[in-house]
Amino acid sequence: MHDEGNRPQSELRQDPTTRNWVIIAPQRGLRPTDLESHSQPTLSSATTSVVCPFCRGEEEETPPEVLRLNDSEGNWRLRVVPNRFAMLSEDGPPRRQISTEGFISMPGVGHHEVVIETPDHSGDLATGGEALVRDVLDVYRARYRALRAERAALIVIFRNHGRSAGTSLSHPHSQIVATPVVPIEVRHRFEVAQQHYDDMGTCLYSDILQRELADGRGIVLETRQFVAFQPFASAFPYETWLMPRLQQASFVSITDHQLDDMAGALRRVLVALRQLLDDPDYNYVIESAPPDQEDREYFVWHLRIAPRLGTPAGFELGSGMRVNPFPPEEAAAALREAVDG
Amino acid sequence: MHDEGNRPQSELRQDPTTRNWVIIAPQRGLRPTDLESHSQPTLSSATTSVVCPFCRGEEEETPPEVLRLNDSEGNWRLRVVPNRFAMLSEDGPPRRQISTEGFISMPGVGHHEVVIETPDHSGDLATGGEALVRDVLDVYRARYRALRAERAALIVIFRNHGRSAGTSLSHPHSQIVATPVVPIEVRHRFEVAQQHYDDMGTCLYSDILQRELADGRGIVLETRQFVAFQPFASAFPYETWLMPRLQQASFVSITDHQLDDMAGALRRVLVALRQLLDDPDYNYVIESAPPDQEDREYFVWHLRIAPRLGTPAGFELGSGMRVNPFPPEEAAAALREAVDG
């Protein structure tokens, strides 16, 4: 049997935004494996497409665009279209139906849009210029405003990069979903923040940012308007938050000045992740206050990046706890070095 | 543009155990893809091992066993050992530490065991006999009892089958983790069940079972003691619950008689899933009452099987809502046909 003497110990860390515990378990990263990578059959009847529906010349493959930016020659450089395979797309009120047996459901009311970020099929936010990232963020804000006006309960802006992050098409794109209800997890985060506000009279998220800045070990980069950091209780290796310094509950409130600053900061983080981790698959999501809670003084919106370097398994399914094999202070140190390095 | 006329609509269904909403979106299964399967670099420094530490003759590769079943020749047929790469392993009280900055943590107190189910490296619960499944369930109960006696806050028994389900070693095994806290998600499920009990005076989980039996479309199989069904608001395609008919809050209370019955039922479900979906990767977990709530009349433990046929992505990360592209009533009909088929 091998020597177990110098194996690092695990610890539990409380995520102050949910009060849930994350298990930081460095020794889990040392496990042996006898498995080769293999493809797994999936349920989908999807077929590998010959033409990419997001490329120039294939505009007929998508529903009509709802927003478009042109280049100097009058060709589109960014398009927003309804998702042809929308998870939510119906109009009308989110009226509950209760079956005889007591099952509760409602129609799939909402919106689901695709932001086709560039005509360059092989492009990426990390390899394009800062103007590309600025365009994408600007369009996020424009569509957020439009969907908010249509009374969405929550607007979720996210990006899936790479197959293991759930992408089905590799052409660079983001997605925006407007839901007819505020999900339980989002409600829970707001309740936790409200309790903190009741107890302390301060904004939990502003306090978290100050705490991370005071500690310093999780900080990835700082700009005038934003801080990128890996939270003390990160649920994933290299989980990185990009948060405004201002107490601002909703992404809809972001100013032009902040947008300029954020574009630079986001690009630097994505470039560093790409360099350090060899273009990892990742998800990012903008966690913003629901439209009916935009005036709250106890939340700060943020962009949360979650690289897909491990696989949640049965333990996570049963407990809802996450196991992170890579302490964020070590990951942040590596990423800090890679930023502009 | 393609005809969108006959595309199925999505709907939201409420999971009564969490009050969260699941999006049932059949059209999501029709998405095209331009991606080939590829392996994704992972953070792990793991190497493909030459010898399997769970095979006969390699007993020195694991810590000393805590339980063992022998065959008629005196060789082991099942072993339980502490996990060498335990996510939790420390003794002592789960004492909170608060840093100067306010970060809250505690030592990784708990247990993490591996159930090596058989010496047969290429075996599987679905291809072995019913006696194998009976052995495994019996050992789950024995270890559950032992860990309960050591004051675990929650005991999570789970099985990861296949690489995309998070397995690192293919030799058939299950895992058992004893945690020092009750996770927030588990607390939440209990609160929801308690509210139902306060309102209705009945057990939510027994009511769910009766509702599914009355409706019938989600039922996969019935035995004298157990029912296998796919819940109305299944979060995953082919998500299947195996639940005792008896109102029994904790797995620790399972009788020998129930155990016999459960072994047959579980094996039939796993065989059917394997045949129907070509040996899919899956997780299963036993969701049981925390030891300090075993006497509650408002919970029923159950084994929850979640095949890994899709990838949760940025939307799920940001909203906590799940998107299931395959309506459970259709999946259950297919699985019902495959059972003993």
- DSSP-derived secondary structure letter, B49: -
Q: CA-CA distance, B64 to B52, in Å (whole number)? A: 16
Give me the residue label for tokens 């042996």.
A32
How far off is chain A from B248, nearest CA to CA, in Å? 18
Of B31, B19, B100, B115, nearest in space to B67 by CA: B115
- Active-site residues of B, by number, are 173
3-state secondary structure B165-188: HCCCCCCCEEEEEEECCCCHHHHH
Work out the average pLDDT over A99-112: 95
DSSP code for B9: P
Backbone angles phi and psi of B274, in degrees to 5: -65, -40
Mutation target among B34, B176, B217, B284 for the A interface, most CBs of A within 10 A: B34
| Separation between Cα atoms, residue B245 and residue B234, nearest integer Å | 20
Q: Please tell me which of the candidates A53, A90, A318 has its beta carbon nearest to residue B287.
A: A318
Q: What is the pLDDT of residue B272?
A: 97
Task: Report the share of chain A in percent with pLDDT over 90.
Answer: 86
Report the C-alpha gap between A112 and A141 in whole angstroms: 15
Question: In sequence order, which residues have a C-beta less than 8 Å from that of residue A327 and are 6 or more positions away?
Answer: A24, A26
**If you ran DSSP here, which 8-state letter would residue A150 be given?**
T
pLDDT at res. A7: 61
B323 CB burial (10 A radius; 0-12, 13-18, 19+): buried
The tens digit of pLDDT for each residue in A25-49 reads: 988 777 777 665 444 444 444 555 5
What single DSSP character describes residue A90? B
Residues of chain B contacting residue A281, judged by C-beta atoms under 8 Å apart: 40
Alpha helices, DSSP H, located in A123-218: 130-149, 184-200, 204-215
Structure tokens, A62: 């998508």
So what's the pLDDT on residue A42? 47
Q: How far is B136 from chain A (nearest CA, A)?
A: 16
What is the chain A residue with the closest CA to B13?
Answer: A105
Residues on chain B touching A47 (C-beta within 8 angstroms): 32-33
Residues of chain B with C-beta less than 8 angstroms from the C-beta of A171: 34
CA distances from B103 to A109, A212, A233, A296 (A): 40, 9, 9, 24
In chain A, which residues have their Cβ closer than 8 Å to the Cβ of B301? none
Q: What is the pTM of this model?
A: 0.94
Checking DSSP bridges between strand B154-161 and strand B111-116, what pairing results, if any? unpaired
Confidence tier at A168 by pLDDT (50, 70, 90):
confident
Interface size A-B, in CB pairs within 8 Å, comes to: 375
Q: Which residue, A341, A318, A14, A24, is CA-closest to B301?
A: A318
| Count of beta carbons in the 10 Å neighbourhood of residue B254 | 23
Residue among B292, B201, B207 nearest B247 (CA): B207
Residue B126 pairs in a beta bridge with none
Nearest 5°: phi and psi at B287?
-95, 110
Spatial contact of B264 and B217, defined as CB atoms under 8 Å apart: no
Nearest to B79 by CA among B71, B95, B68: B68
For residue B270, the one-letter residue type is: L
How many Å from the N-terminal Cα to the C-terminal Cα in chain A?
41
Strand order of the β-sheet with A322-324 is A322-324, A21-24, A11-14, B104-107, B97-98
- Residues of B in Cβ contact (< 8 Å) with A239: none
- Out of A154, A283, A326, name the one closest to residue B314 (CB): A283
Q: Å from A21 to nearest chain B CA?
A: 7
Element housing A318 (H / E):
helix A314-319
Q: Which residues of B touch A170 (CB under 8 A)?
A: 34-35
Distance (Å) from the alpha carbon of A153 to chain B's nearest alpha carbon: 11
Question: What's the sign of the alpha-carbon dihedral B333, B331, B9, B29?
Answer: negative
* pLDDT value for B151: 87
Nearest chain A residue to B107 by CA distance is A11
Shortest CB distance from B323 goes to which of A60, A87, A315?
Answer: A87
CB B179 to CB A319 under 8 A?
yes
Q: Which long-range contacts (CB under 8 A, 24 or more apart) does A301-304 make?
A: A301/A243, A301/A244, A301/A248, A301/A249, A301/A250, A301/A251, A302/A205, A302/A241, A302/A242, A302/A243, A302/A244, A303/A241, A303/A242, A303/A243, A303/A262, A303/A266, A304/A239, A304/A240, A304/A241, A304/B317, A304/B318
Q: Measured between CB atoms, which of A85, A278, A314 is closest to B285?
A: A314
B181/A12 CB distance under 8 A: yes
Q: Catalytic pick from A171, A173, A196, A302?
A: A173
Contact B308, B280 (CB under 8 A): yes
Distances in Å between the alpha carbon of B12 and those of A69, A100, A105, B324, B327?
34, 17, 5, 10, 11
d(Cα A2, Cα A21) in Å, to the nearest integer? 30
ipTM of the complex in this document: 0.92
Of A43, A88, A215, the CB nearest to B101: A215
pLDDT, one tens digit per residue, over A254-299 is 999 999 999 999 999 999 999 999 999 999 999 999 999 999 999 9
B110: left (phi over 0), alpha (psi -120 to 50) or beta: left
CA dihedral A273, A275, A280, A286 (to 10 degrees): 30
Question: For A185-205, how does the pLDDT look when each residue is reduced to its tens digit (9 = 90+)?
Answer: 999 999 999 999 999 999 999
Q: What is the pLDDT of residues A79-91, one digit of tens each?
A: 999 999 999 999 9
Q: Is B102's CB within 8 Å of A211's CB? A: yes
Instruction: Tell me how close the Cα of A178 comes to any Cα of chain B, in angstroms.
Output: 10
Do residues B279 and A119 make contact, with C-beta atoms less than 8 angstroms apart?
no
Nearest-CA distance from A195 to chain B in Å?
Answer: 16
Q: Of the candidates A20, A156, A323, which has its C-beta nearest B319's C-beta?
A: A156
Using alpha carbons, select from B177, B85, B95 the residue that is nearest to residue A12: B95
Say whether B108 and A25 touch across the interface (CB within 8 A).
Answer: yes
Q: Tell me the CA distances in angstroms from A103 to A246, B147, B178, B209, B280, one per residue in order.
A: 44, 37, 34, 12, 29
Q: Do A87 and B23 touch (CB under 8 A)?
A: yes
Rounded to a whole number of angstroms, the distance between the first and last alpha carbons of chain B is: 41
Distances (CA, A) of B226 to B86, B223, B246, B263: 33, 5, 8, 10
Show pLDDT as tens, one digit a residue, over chain B (341 residues): 444 455 678 999 999 999 999 999 988 777 777 665 444 444 444 555 568 999 999 999 999 999 999 999 999 999 999 999 999 999 999 999 999 999 999 999 999 999 999 999 999 999 999 999 999 999 999 999 999 999 899 999 999 999 889 988 999 999 999 999 999 999 999 999 999 999 999 999 999 999 999 999 999 999 999 999 999 999 999 999 999 999 999 999 999 999 999 999 999 999 999 999 999 999 999 999 999 999 999 999 999 999 999 888 999 999 999 999 999 999 999 999 999 77
CA distance A9 to A28: 10
Chain A positions in Cβ-Cβ contact with residue B63 (cut-off 8 Å): 1
Q: Do B46 and A29 touch (CB under 8 A)?
A: yes
Give the number of other Cβ atoms within 10 Å of residue A171's Cβ: 20
And the tokens for B185?
């998600």
A78/A173 Cα distance (integer angstroms): 10
